[in-house]
């Protein structure tokens, strides 16, 4: 039977520290996850909007899809609409901030463009 000096493992204080770090990570992840879901919705809306033929039409298509998917971070006015050859290319970029504690924020930057 091993003596106390030979025992290995984590102390109670170490266990509390690991638990606190995991809890904080979980809280931040739970707040960041909806922004990632929204990003994928924005990408899908941009792909659909890129079927428009004019800037006004592209923005209107995006805004309609944004209503359906409840996109709050970006609107049709925020899109960068260009033409490459005869194809409409729609780009976007936006930031989301998540309040952590006190003056600390986590800033997530999202950007993309249609194919």
Q: Which residues pair with 97 in a beta bridge?
A: 107
- The helix or strand, by DSSP H or E, that contains position 52, with its residue range, turns out to be none
| pTM for this model (two decimals) | 0.82
What is the rounded distance in angstroms from the CA atom of residue 48 to the CA atom of residue 5?
66
**pLDDT bracket for residue 115 (50, 70, 90):** confident
What tokens does 39 get? 């990003």
pLDDT tens, 61-104?
Answer: 999 999 999 999 999 999 999 988 888 999 999 999 999 989 99
- Every domain of the chain and the residues it spans: 11-113
Pick the range with the lowest mean pLDDT from 2-6, 46-50, 56-60, 111-115.
2-6
pLDDT(19) > 80? yes
Contact 79, 59 (CB under 8 A): yes
- Residues 106-113 have a mean pLDDT of 95
């Amino acid at each position: 039977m091993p003596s106390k000096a030979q025992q290995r493992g984590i102390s109670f204080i170490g266990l509390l520290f690991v638990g606190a770090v995991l809890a904080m990570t979980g809280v931040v992840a739970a707040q960041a996850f909806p922004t990632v879901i929204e990003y994928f919705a924005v990408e899908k809306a941009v792909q659909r909007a890129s079927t428009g033929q004019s800037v006004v039409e592209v923005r209107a298509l995006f805004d309609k899809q944004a209503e359906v998917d409840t996109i709050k971070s970006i609107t049709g006015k925020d899109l960068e609409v260009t033409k490459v050859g005869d194809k409409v290319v729609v780009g976007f970029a936006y930031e989301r901030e998540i309040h952590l504690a006190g003056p600390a924020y986590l800033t997530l930057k999202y950007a993309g463009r249609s194919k």
